[in-house]
Amino acid sequence: MEKLVNDFSFGLFFWQIIIFVLLLILLRKYAWKPILNAVNDREEGIKNALDSAEKAKLEMQNLQADNEKLLQEARSEREVMLKEAREIKAKMIADAKEEAKGEADKMVAQAQAAIESEKKSAIAELKQQVASLSLEIAEKVVKHELSDKDKQLKLVDEMLGDAKLN
């Protein structure tokens, strides 16, 4: 301890304090501050760059999600459109079928009506002809029958007999 005290040089202590404090002030101003600031700025820059990269990534993801969504929408829209088209097609075919059937029915009905009327007129004509034919026959028969007086009376009797049955 005595040696330590004896060795203590006040001059060296004095210069050490002066030099060190001076060095501290100079280095603080001209070295440490710029160095630490530069390092801080750099770290800040790196942090910001990382942040913005992260942000860009997120944005990219959002964009991709948007794209996906758009694609999905387009797909579903296409689906809907296809479905609609299919429906329209089906409807059109059905409609056409319906119409065709209606038309056919109508034609069939017309044809039937025509046939019916033809038939009626044919029957009427037939009736007429049959009537005239029977009249002719009856005329002829009557002519023939009336030529004989007995026969005429017999006929009248027969007819009267028939009338009773009625």
| Residues lying near other proteins in the complex (CB under 8 A) | 4, 6-17, 19-24, 26-28, 30-36, 38-39, 41-42, 45
Q: How far is the CB of 73 from other proteins (least distance, A)?
A: 47
For residue 151, what are the contacts with CB-CB under 8 A and spacing of at least 6?
A: 145
Q: Minimum distance between the CB of residue 16 and other proteins, rounded to whole angstroms?
A: 4
Residue nearer to other proteins on the CB measure, 45 or 102: 45
Smallest distance from other proteins to CB 82, Å: 59
Could you give the count of Cα atoms lying within 13 Å of 92 in the half-sphere of its Cβ?
6
Angle, CA of 18, 19 and 20, to the nearest 5°: 95
Residue with tokens 């990269």: 53
C-alpha 57/C-alpha 117 separation (Å) is: 87
CB nearer other proteins, residue 34 or residue 102: 34
Comparing CB distances to other proteins, the nearer of 6 and 147 is: 6
